[in-house]
Structures are given as C-alpha cells and as structure tokens.
Copies of this chain bind each other. A is one copy, B any other.
C-alpha cells in the first residue's frame, strides 16, 4: 500500500526507548489506512527505517495534517532535518512471532528459530508485550542447554564483534565477570589495572546498575568518561591494555540491552538468560578467556551450592561450545564486599585499596587479588599457583594504581568528580552484640532509595561487617543522600529493618 509522503516534524517529547509517531487526526494517511492498521507503523526517511507507536493528535500546534511528528529519540534515530520527506506504512508483525508462540506453547526451539527471534529483537521489531512474552517463556528451566547455546550465538551475531588478534598475536584476551547481587563488589576496577599492568589485554565493558545501587560502569563514571564510541575504546585498550567502559555504547549484543529493559521490571534473571547475556557480551567484546565469579549466600542471587554448581555447568557448556576458556570461582556472597555502597563510596574504596591505605577494606583487596591471580594464570608463561603472588606484587608496588590512572586519563578524567551526598542519617545498633549477618538485598534497596546510582554521591557507608562486636547505640552505617525526599524514603526502610542481624555476645 503506498501512502502519501509526509514531512518530518520534531516533537519535543522524550518517550525514551519507545519511538512515538504523531499524526494529526485529519491527516490523509490516517483516513486512507484506518487507525487500526496504523497502531504500529514503520517510518522510512533518508534510507533509515524505524518502528513506532502511533499517537493521534487533534492540536495543529503539535502536528499539522501532512506532517509526521516524531518523538525526540525517534528523531535522532532517523537523523534527518525537520521538513524532510518520510513515508509510513503499517508494521508487519515480526516474522519470528510464530517461533515465539511455539516457545510459549512449551516447544523446543531450533537454532534458526532463536536466530530469527534475536534478529527481530535487535531490530526493535518486538513490542514490549512480545518481549515480556519471550522473557517469561524462556524463564527458569524452560530453555534446554542447546537452546541457551543458540540464544547466545544469536545474540553475538546480532551485534558487532571485536577482534584483538592483531594486538595479542594468539595470546589470551582476558576478562572477568561477577553475576551480581552483592553490594559494593567493585573488584573489576582493581582486577583490570592489575592484569593490564601484567601485560595482558583486558577490554572490560560493564553494565550500568540494573536492579543494584551501582554497576562497575556507574562507579568508574565517578572518575572517568565511560560512554565511549567503539573506535575510541579500541584505541584505549591498545594503548593501556585495558578499559572500564559502559557496554551499551559498543553495539555489542544489542538484543541483550533490549531484553534487560524487560527483565528488570519483572526482576527475572533466570539461568539461561543470564548465561546468554554474559557470554554473548564477553565473546562479542573479543575475550578468549574469562574468570567468572558466582557469589553464594542466603541473600545473594545464588543461594545454595547445588544451584551454583548447576549454573557453573551451564556456563561451562555454552562457553566450551563457543571456544571461550572459562574458569568459574564460587565465592562467599554472605554480605556486601568493601564498605561503600553507591558509586562515589565504592570508588573511594577502590582507590583506598590501590593506594594501599591502612584503612582500605581488606575483603575487597583479598577478593580482587584472588580473581586477578586466576586471570594472570591464563598467561601461558605463568606457573600454576603463581598468579596470586604476581597480582599482589603489582598492587603493593603501586603499578596497579598507575595503570588505572593511565586508563582514567585515556578514557577522559572527570574534571569535577561528583561529591558524597551531604544529607546524612546514621543507623545505630539497637543493642550490644556481634554482627551475625548483613542482608545484601535490603542494603541494596536502602542505597537505591537514598538515590544510588542516579545520584552518584548517594548510598550507604558500612562501619561494621559480619563478626564485629558493637556496643548498644554504636554506629552501624551512614546513609548519604542529595535530596531530602530520598533520605526520608531510605531512612524509613532502614527503620523497618536495618538489614543487620545482631547476636548476643558470648
């Protein structure tokens, strides 16, 4: 069906990732095609093509008949000037919908099915309803391990893929990843400079926080630019052996970013989706060797050892099938790592460890050294068992600090790093006792309510960890916030249950 040409008009409405097209009710196109047919439309202009939801307008101040209004994001995606000619047509349902329906009905999908689905997702041809349906239908144990492999392959194929082989000449390209869920666990910012100082290539891209108070990208952003175009990222890694960048700008595994936007509100993080998400990003980034950290604890993502072992096998199967060397470490996830929770506080802990400060959090240092040691042992010239010592020497000598400073300078140092939130509330022990447990989930929620990670200086600063003896009224942790409303929300949650369990002193 050929519908009349329209003229692009930018409508200054920010609808985020959802493209909206605005047409006047008396626009010829609306009459000719009927509104039902136009519920979802394809907009074509300047050789670009985007999918959009149609809103019908009765106000010529917003859009006139003959014009095609587009929301901010859609306008920048089309990259044309106002007044440029555009065409719209009813969107065809994505071709892979029949495969999605078969998955919903409980069938196993083939490699071709999963490639078709992921292509449509990466091409923004799935509605939110269809995305949610895919996420739920592939949830839990619904994906066989072959399907997880196909999904991972498809997610790699749908984006760009980096290749460092010219730089490493057959040597390993290493990375580490933690599956998340432990507040304060900012080991990457220590591990990357240590491993890079050892001379290995470590092109680390990280996510921003999904449901946590800070991701590595959020914390690194306190110190440096993290939104780097792919070409600059490659230059930085060649110059400094490493980077700590946000993965979202790199067009690596774009379907993953879209699926996360649906998994997040549903708080779904099932084994198959986690494996495909993590491994697709790593392989697309060009890594050949990966150390994977699976923390286990009563308030961690993985609660029991059998569950951790099952997850490990699935990671190993998919990584092995795709030629990625994988070393899985199952670690203690019983409490937060380090002291700070929130970007500014976590960056402070990282710098204290790099400076070998006497008050640097020992647990953060220890865990980073263990992870870095295992990564260094991917080096064929390093003897098994020597990695930890090499990592410690690099850290103690200040070479890791120098390496991170070089990476920060290469990425672009923040002239004025954000400050710690000046609104403070102190949470104290109701009675004397020994700290028996700290609830990861609750501390993460409190830090998020305080404003992290949107407000980098917001968060929670822990003064005591599991095993410490505290007196009645002694400070357990401080809340930091920038806005009074945020502080009030966080304080309220901490008052219901502060997340610390104290047991009587023996």
A37 touches B14 (CB 8 A): yes
Return the contact of A136 from the options B15, B72, B104, B451 (Cβ within 8 A): B104
8 Å CB contacts to B: which residues of A1-27?
1, 3, 11-18, 22, 25
- Residue numbers in B under 8 Å from A131 (CB-CB): 129
- Does B34 lie within 8 Å of A15, measured CB to CB? no
Which residue of B22, B35, B132 contacts A132 across the interface (Cβ within 8 Å)?
A: B132
Interface centre among A32, A55, A131 (most CB of B within 10 A): A55
B104 touches A268 (CB 8 A): yes
CB contacts under 8 Å to B, within A53-70, are: 55-59, 61-62
Contacts of A489 in B (CB 8 A): 1
CA distance A421 to B267 in the complex (A): 49
Judged by a CB distance under 8 angstroms, whether A199 is at the interface is no
- In the complex, the answer to whether B129 meets A32 with C-beta atoms within 8 Å is no
Nearest CB in chain B: distance from A342 CB, A: 14
A380 at the A/B interface (Cβ < 8 Å)? no
At the interface, yes or no: A308 with Cβ under 8 Å from chain B?
A: no
Please tell me if A99 contacts chain B, counting CB pairs below 8 Å: no
A493 located at the interface, meaning its Cβ lies under 8 Å from any Cβ of chain B in the complex: no
Given contacts A1-B485, A33-B485, A136-B137, 13 further A-B contacts (CB under 8 A): A13-B22, A13-B55, A13-B56, A13-B57, A13-B58, A15-B38, A15-B55, A34-B451, A101-B268, A104-B139, A130-B266, A132-B132, A132-B136
Contact of A38 among B16, B58, B105, B137 (CB under 8 A): B16
CB distance from A491 to the nearest CB of B (A): 12
Name which residue of chain B comes closest to A137, CB basis: B136
Would you call A276 an interface residue if the criterion is a C-beta within 8 Å of the partner chain's C-beta atoms? no
User: What distance in Å separates the Cβ of A107 from its nearest Cβ neighbour in chain B?
Assistant: 10
Tell me how far the C-beta of A37 lies from the nearest C-beta in chain B, rounded to whole angstroms.
4
* 18 A–B contacts, CB within 8 A, in A order: A12-B57, A13-B56, A13-B58, A13-B59, A14-B57, A15-B37, A16-B39, A32-B483, A33-B483, A34-B486, A55-B71, A61-B61, A105-B139, A105-B140, A128-B132, A129-B262, A130-B265, A133-B133
Interface string of A469-506 (1 = CB under 8 A from B): 00000000000000101101100000000000000000
Q: Which of B13, B137, B488 contacts A1 (CB 8 A)?
A: B488
Q: Is the CB of A17 within 8 A of B1?
A: no
Residues A265 and B57 in contact in the complex (CB < 8 Å), given A16-B36, A16-B38: no
B residues less than 8 Å from A61 (CB atoms):
61-62
Given known contacts A14-B25, A56-B14, A266-B133, A36 and B104 CB-to-CB distance under 8 angstroms: no
